[in-house]
Amino acid sequence: MSGIGTFDLLFFGLTTLLVLLGGIGTVAAKNPIRGAMGLLTAIVGIAGMYLQLAAEFLAAIQIIVYAGAVVVLFLFVIMLLGPQATTSAGAAGTKVSRYFGAGVLLVTSVGAMSLLWRTRTEIAALPKLPPGHGTIEGIGRELFTTHIVPFELSGALLLVAVVGAVAVARGKQIDPTSAVKVAVAKKPTKQASGEAEAHTAHAKEAG
């Protein structure tokens, strides 16, 4: 424990506080907006921790991508959903089964923690950092040499994700050009219904 700067410890305490409160806030909040805000604070806390762990580039990415994009996206969706977004907390599932689940979860996690505690050894001394560790040059060099394939693939992945999200979110739009025909078919004449039936019969037979 010797050799830890008091300022470092303070900063670490702050970021831990941010992270844990944010996390619990996200999970426990009734209103999803507060949840999103909790998420935001957790993400910022983690960015702080990255800084302490000599990962400046990642901290920046974290702030830009996560805080900037993902949380904002969450807020958009919450706004889109409007009041229904806040589901009535107690509606589904009896209280007993939910808290029983939580209890089991806590017990297991405490048990796991105690097991890990048994394997504790002295805290290893922090190794000396090579210069430029975690900076954008170091990561950039590695990113574009050893990890070039995953980099390209993640590009493709993002493209697919975007197209997918748009397709799913957009849902069934009425084809503007077909608007005219629909109008004509309105008259419930026998001939049309026959044609419709034929159409559906054909569809069923093709299926």
Partner 1 sequence: MSTVPVEYFLIVAAVLFVVGAVGFLLRRNLLVLLMSIELMLNSVNLTLVAYNRLHAANHAGQNLAFFVIAVAAAEAAVGLAIVLAFFRVRKTIHSDEANLLKN
Partner 2 sequence: MLGNQFDTKDFALLAVVLLLPAIGAFVNGVFGKRLGKEAVRLMALTAIGGAFLASVVTFLSVPHDGGRLSWTVWRWMSVTGQSGNSVPIDVKFSVDAMTATMMLVVTGVGFLIHLYASEYMKKDPGYHRFFCYLNLFCFAMLLLITGDNLPVLFVGWEGVGMCSYLLIGFWFDDEKNARAGKKAFIVNRIGDFGLILAMALLVYYCGSLTWEGIDNSKLSLLAPVKIWPIGNLSKETLPVFLGNIIIPDKPVQVYAATLVALALFLGCAGKSAQVPLYIWLPDAMAGPTPVSALIHAATMVTAGVYLVARLHFVFLLSPAAMAVVAVIGVVTALLAASIGLFQHDLKKVLAYSTVSQLGFMFIGVGVGAFAAGFFHVFTHAFFKACLFLGAGSVIHAMHARIHDTDRSQDMRNMGGLKRFMPITRWTFFASCCAIAGFPLTAGFWSKDEILWSAFSNNVVNSKAAATPRMAPYEWPPWLGQAIYWGAILAATMTAFYMFRAYFMTFHGNFRGWSIVRGWTDPHAGHDHHDHHEEHDTSKPLEGPEPHESPAPMTAPLVVLAAFALFAGFLNAHPIHIAPLGHFLEPVFKGAEGFVSEREGAKGLMWVMMAPGFAAFLVGTAAAMYVYLNRAGQPEKVFAEKAGGLYRLIYDKWRIDELYDATVVGMVDALADIFTMADKWFIDGVLARLTAMLTALAGTLLRTLQTGRIQVYAAVMLLGLGGVGWFMVYPHADVTADDTSLRSTGEVKLAAAPGYGYTFRWEGLTGTDSQLTERSAVTVRLQPGEKKNVTVFVKNAFQLETSHTVALERPGLPPGAKAQSDGKGAAPPNVPGMVRPDIPTGEIPADDIHKLLLPRGADQGNNKGAEK
From the list partner 1, partner 2, none, partner contacted by residue 166 (C-beta under 5 to 8 A by kind): partner 1
* Candidates 64-72, 175-183, 191-199; binding stretch for partner 1 (CB under 8 A): 64-72
Q: What is the 3-state secondary structure (H, E, C) of the chain?
A: CCCCCHHHHHHHHHHHHHHHHHHHHHHHCCCHHHHHHHHHHHHHHHHHHHHHCCCHHHHHHHHHHHHHHHHHHHHHHHHHHHHHHCCCCCCCCCHHHHHHHHHHHHHHHHHHHHHHHHCCCCCCCCCCCCCCCCCHHHHHHHHHHCCHHHHHHHHHHHHHHHHHHHHHHHCCCCCHHHHHHHHHCCCCCHHHHHHHHHHHHHHHHHC
Is residue 126 within the footprint of partner 1 (CB under 8 A)? yes
From the list partner 2, partner 1, none, partner contacted by residue 119 (C-beta under 5 to 8 A by kind): partner 2
* Candidates 43-51, 73-81, 108-116, 156-164; binding stretch for partner 2 (CB under 8 A): 108-116
Is residue 119 within the footprint of partner 2 (CB under 8 A)? yes
Is residue 60 within the footprint of partner 1 (CB under 8 A)? no
Is residue 62 within the footprint of partner 1 (CB under 8 A)? yes
Is residue 118 within the footprint of partner 2 (CB under 8 A)? yes
